[in-house]
Amino acid sequence: MKPRPLAQDKSRYKVLTRRTLMLGGIQLGLVGALTARMYYLQVLQADKYKVLAEENRINLRLLAPQRGRILDRFGVPLAVNQQSYRVVLVAEQAGDIDSTLNAIGTLIPLGDNERHRVLREIKSKHSFVPIVVRENLSWEEVARIEVNVPELPGVQIEVGRNRYYPFADRTSHITGYVAPVSEKELTGDPLMELPDFRIGKSGIEKSMDLELRGTAGTSQIEVNAFGRVVREISRDDGQPGQEVATTLDMALQDFTMRRLRSEEAATCIVMDVVTGEILTMASSPSYDANSFTHGLKASVWNALNTDPHTPLYNKATQGVNPPGSTFKPVVAMAALDSGVITPDFRVNCPGVFTLGDHEYHCWRHGGHGTLDLHGGLKNSCDVYFYEVAMRVGVDRVAAMAHRLGMGELTGIDIPNERPGNIPTRAWKLKKFGVRWVDGDTPSIGIGQGYIAVTPLQLVTMLSRIISNRALVPHLERQPGIMEAGKPFDPDFGAKDYPSLGFNPAHINAVLSGMNAVTNELGGTAYGARITDPGMEMGGKSGTSQFRQITAAERERGIKKGEQLPWKDREHALFIAFAPVGNPRYACAVFIEHGIAGGKYAAPIARDVLRECQRRDPSRRVPPDPLIVADAGAASTPDKTP
Amino acid sequence: MSFGAERGHTPDFAEKLRSINWGLIFLLSAIAGIGFMVLYSAANASFDPWASKSMIRYAISLALLLGVAIVDIRFWLKAAYPIYVVGLVLLVAVDLHGRTGLGAQRWIELGPLSLQPSELMKIGLVMVLARYFNTRTVEEVGRPLHLLYPLLLLLVPAALVMKQPDLGTAMMLVMSTGGIFFLAGVRLWKFAIAIAAGAGLVPIAFGFMRDYQKKRILTFLNPENDSLGAGYHITQSKIALGSGGMWGKGYLQGTQSHLNFLPEKHTDFIFTMFAEEFGMAGGCVLLALYALVVAYGCAIGLRSRNHFGRMLALGITLNFFLYVFINTAMVMGLIPVVGVPLPLISYGGTAMLTLMFGFGLVISVYIHRDVRINRRGESES
């Protein structure tokens, strides 16, 4: 006997059965559709897909954008791109990496280090990204590999572009250099993994890296099962990087770098006092930025790093030292501006300044007699400035120094600038936990003690005194990027800097004292004056003591710096401006262990400022930048005699 | 027929063991066996990392299936809501602090296990709907008011899954609920209206979608547009599948999948790999196995004398079918790419566990086919 379902369950069950059958029918239909689709793909279209599978595979390749060039103010290229050939390996297509590397090794020399680097990169990068096996192949090597490419799956020759610095070591501290992206710098952006790709590691290459870089292009290519390119389907070249025009006058830079070779280690900067543009920033010795492009050899790197002349340092922005007497104009401005002295303020110099039981000597043992500010600057009289410093006080000197851009970053548009230090009462208490005592102040007057500034700060300070405006030194021309065909505004920036509000009479008093340094008989740098009419310079010498000649050395008869080993000599400094009547250029020279500013640094300033005025880069109308840039790429710019 | 059967017979343990559908278990194991083979191939002829783990999971899942099968169907009726609620709680937990994978929060970490609550919810939803329709007559099902509550049962988890965001699973929930409504006897014209309304909502829903979801749909409509981005997967899948031809390239010989041109070859695109190596012939055999499982499930459903059991077995079977269809249709480029695994073959723990749990329920329905359950959910005597 069958059980009788309830009536309502029976109707429910009937509906369910019917609906299940309908659903089953639909499902059967869908399975039929799947089978039909399989038939279509795997039987009807099988040949087409077999061809696609065996021969044509679509690959996406990233194209590194052309890096923007770096130019000088007249369009002379300082950094360009050169073609080069390299052999790359695509791990995904290579199959057995070891045997492929062995095969390459029989064609071109391949060291163990390179091998390990390739294997390491294969692990850390996407498998479709080509990995450089060797760069800068000779033509012969290119040919040898090209011939054997059919037996080398995943191996290709690529044409790449190398960064090239035509002036090599003469611009390295400004342009900086580019180098392969380190594993730490990988951001996951596939562009960073490209073998072509270099990023700026210092100088303008670093500070303007994003602008110079451009955006990546892509290439869609069909590749066969062995990784050979069958054809390119489409290509988007991306955006090349923008060109960056600098404020540099390459001819002057070149002249300056050559001039500095007479010294073991020195720097010289020329700044336009109207615009704040850096026309020259030479730091010597230097290094060849080209050598970084392919990764530096350890031995070369070690040599650069351990060289006592610190070629890797940009001495202009990174070298901090006491400014010595070149600081005296700052002390004078502080005293004049705060009303403590007038230009007529007189001090008698007996050769020594006494404070309590302490004696502070003037550089001239016999003393200078009675001097006013003019004489104090002209003779660089230490006693005069001990006295002035005592009257002004350290804090007002420090305030003036900061107003003139010292003891802090100037804000120049290349990386790794150092701020130096300008001491105050509060600073000493915080730093050493000891109060400022009166005995600390006299040495401030002559730029010694705790003061440390960069040569760039010195030239900024002088430019600010001359222009009475808060100039910011910069290397980048106009707001960043040069647009093709657009002429430069020769006085760009001239109107943009805030006034410092000095009394023009005070500025004149200081500049007239500096004029006397070079142009009046008896001035400390009279021997280094410019005699060309209309080009005369004013200046201030400085010698930075970081060590006194010891009593023992005195006994051995060493009286002059020249007799000491290089490392033990004092630094020589000179700051200068020209032309004296209507200053346009300010210059700072710093010679490491250069002995005496007036004697050794001033002649460099003289030569550079004379050359600068002869060329007058700030007033010369720049020619069409594109035309000059093209010409410059083909030939080196004119050399100065 | 025994007297006990007439009253709503409850089988004893020995009867239960005897009435287990070993044929269904054999089918499932055959499919899983194919899965191990393909996973072994996907790892370039290696049991590590996928095949070995998948085998262990299958063994555990099989034990679970047997355990679930011999538990009384009335227990599962009572457990429907607790399981559903646990599923909801886990979905909320995933929303609060789940592990994010591939841009969506789908997993929850439970010690060494990472659980995907949306998988559990697929079974839980079928269970509560089966329980609900057990209490409704055909006449009641015909009245729209009686459909509001089951719709609510669907919408809450569907919204949570959408939020993850997991469009594929949300669609699965909607479709299996639709299937259960259909089986329950909801009029066809109501489906027509719902589908029309759904179509009307598409542009609005499109505005709410994540960019990658929009891209997938646009890419499906025009794959040539983006042959290297979102369209890459489907293009490569079609090349691999098509190049397999009638008889395939042979086991372990699939060039496209082994050269890594085929993405996700151990999960969502595993059917492609199988069809590349075994051709259309292999693909048809696999589809036939799946179809047999579906047929088996439907037969079990129709054989049950209680409405809960019928709805449960048919609902779970329908879910299974949807998995298979959506996955295979997706890799063949018939529908947009949505992340739905291929049952018993794709590598993935939660999916295998819940699927076997589901078939445990189906077999339990069979074992307890003669148990009568009235509309209040009590067994009739």
Give the tens place of pLDDT for each residue, A36-77.
999 999 999 888 888 877 655 666 777 888 888 998 888 889
Band of pLDDT at residue B97, cut at 50, 70 and 90: low
Other beta carbons within 10 angstroms of residue B328's beta carbon come to 26
Q: Do B242 and A46 touch (CB under 8 A)?
A: yes
Closest CA to A577 of A629, A622, A530, A633: A530
| Residue pointed to by tokens 């799956």 | A153
Band of pLDDT at residue A224, cut at 50, 70 and 90: low
* Residue A627: per-residue pLDDT: 41
- Secondary structure class of A305 (helix, strand, coil): helix
Average pLDDT over residues A514-524: 93
* Residue A566: per-residue pLDDT: 73
Instruction: Provide the β-strand partners of residue A157.
Output: A87
Residue pair A288/A415 in contact (Cβ under 8 Å)? The answer is no
Instruction: Provide the β-strand partners of residue A162.
Output: A82
- Is residue B231 scored above 70 in pLDDT? no
User: What does pTM read for this prediction?
Assistant: 0.58
* Residue A3: per-residue pLDDT: 43
User: How far away is chain B from the Cα of A112, in angstroms, using its nearest Cα?
Assistant: 28
Other beta carbons within 10 angstroms of residue A500's beta carbon come to 19
Band of pLDDT at residue A641, cut at 50, 70 and 90: very low
* Residue B132: per-residue pLDDT: 93
- Is residue B35 scored above 50 in pLDDT? yes
Average pLDDT over all residues of chain A: 84
- Residues A172, A202, A291, A325: which is the catalytic one? A325
Instruction: Name residue A598's amino acid.
Output: G
Tell me the per-residue pLDDT of B41-56, one tens digit each, with 9 for 90 and over. 988 788 888 899 999 9
User: How far away is chain A from the Cα of B274, in angstroms, using its nearest Cα?
Assistant: 12
Instruction: Name residue B284's amino acid.
Output: C
- Secondary structure class of A59 (helix, strand, coil): strand
* Residue A100: per-residue pLDDT: 84
Whole-complex ipTM? 0.90
Give the DSSP H or E segment for B220: helix B211-221
State the Cα–Cα distance between residues A278 and A460, nearest whole angstrom. 10
Tell me the per-residue pLDDT of A296-352, one tens digit each, with 9 for 90 and over. 788 888 888 888 888 999 999 999 999 999 999 999 999 999 999 999 999 999 999
Best of B146, B226, B241, B302 to mutate (most A CBs within 10 Å, chain A): B241
Average pLDDT over all residues of chain B: 84
Contacts of B168 (CB under 8 A, 6+ apart): B326, B338, B339, B340
Band of pLDDT at residue B109, cut at 50, 70 and 90: low
Best of B228, B243, B257, B335 to mutate (most A CBs within 10 Å, chain A): B243
Contacts of A367 (CB under 8 A, 6+ apart): A349, A350, A351, A352, A383
Burial class (CB in 10 A: 0-12, 13-18, 19+), A522: exposed
Structure tokens at A496: 């943009």
Tell me the per-residue pLDDT of B151-168, one tens digit each, with 9 for 90 and over. 999 999 998 887 777 777
Nearest CA in chain A to B370: A3
State the Cα–Cα distance between residues B251 and B278, nearest whole angstrom. 7
Nearest CA in chain B to A35: B284
Nearest CA in chain B to A221: B228
Q: Do A225 and B6 touch (CB under 8 A)?
A: no
The minimal CB distance from B239 to the residues A23, A39, A53 is found for: A53
The minimal CB distance from B185 to the residues A19, A33, A39 is found for: A19
* Residue B343: per-residue pLDDT: 93
State the Cα–Cα distance between residues A293 and A43, nearest whole angstrom. 54
Tell me the per-residue pLDDT of B334-372, one tens digit each, with 9 for 90 and over. 887 777 889 999 998 888 999 999 999 999 999 999 888
Q: Tell me the torsion sign for CA atoms B23, B29, B33, B35.
A: positive
The minimal CB distance from B255 to the residues A42, A92, A225 is found for: A225
Band of pLDDT at residue A629, cut at 50, 70 and 90: very low
Closest CA to B118 of B366, B369, B309, B319: B319
Q: Do A16 and B184 touch (CB under 8 A)?
A: yes
How many Cα neighbours within 13 Å face the side chain of A412?
35
- Lowest-confidence pick of A330-339, A539-548, B293-302: A539-548
Tell me the per-residue pLDDT of A580-603, one tens digit each, with 9 for 90 and over. 989 999 999 999 887 777 778 899
| Residue pointed to by tokens 């509060």 | A426
* Residue B350: per-residue pLDDT: 85
Burial class (CB in 10 A: 0-12, 13-18, 19+), B55: middle
* Residue B18: per-residue pLDDT: 87
Set of chain A residues whose Cβ sits within 8 Å of the Cβ of B321? 27
Give the DSSP H or E segment for A89: strand A77-90
Set of chain B residues whose Cβ sits within 8 Å of the Cβ of A16? 183-185, 302, 307, 310-311, 314
Q: How many CB pairs under 8 A join A and B?
A: 137
Q: Do B227 and A12 touch (CB under 8 A)?
A: no
* Residue A495: per-residue pLDDT: 63
Closest CA to A542 of A599, A597, A605: A597
Closest CA to A229 of A125, A132, A150, A126: A150
Set of chain B residues whose Cβ sits within 8 Å of the Cβ of A35? 284, 287
State the Cα–Cα distance between residues A88 and A102, nearest whole angstrom. 14
Residue pair A593/A264 in contact (Cβ under 8 Å)? The answer is yes
Q: Do A43 and B241 touch (CB under 8 A)?
A: no
Cα separation values, A589 from A269, A457, B43, Å: 7, 11, 68
Q: Tell me the torsion sign for CA atoms A554, A558, A560, A562.
A: negative
Contacts of A303 (CB under 8 A, 6+ apart): none
Average pLDDT over residues B307-318: 95
Nearest CA in chain B to A223: B261
Catalytic site residue A138? no
User: How far away is chain A from the Cα of B334, in angstroms, using its nearest Cα?
Assistant: 8
The crossing angle, in degrees rounded to 10, of helices B307-331 and B270-303 is 160
* Residue A181: per-residue pLDDT: 84
Q: Which residue has the higher pLDDT, A503 or A564?
A: A503
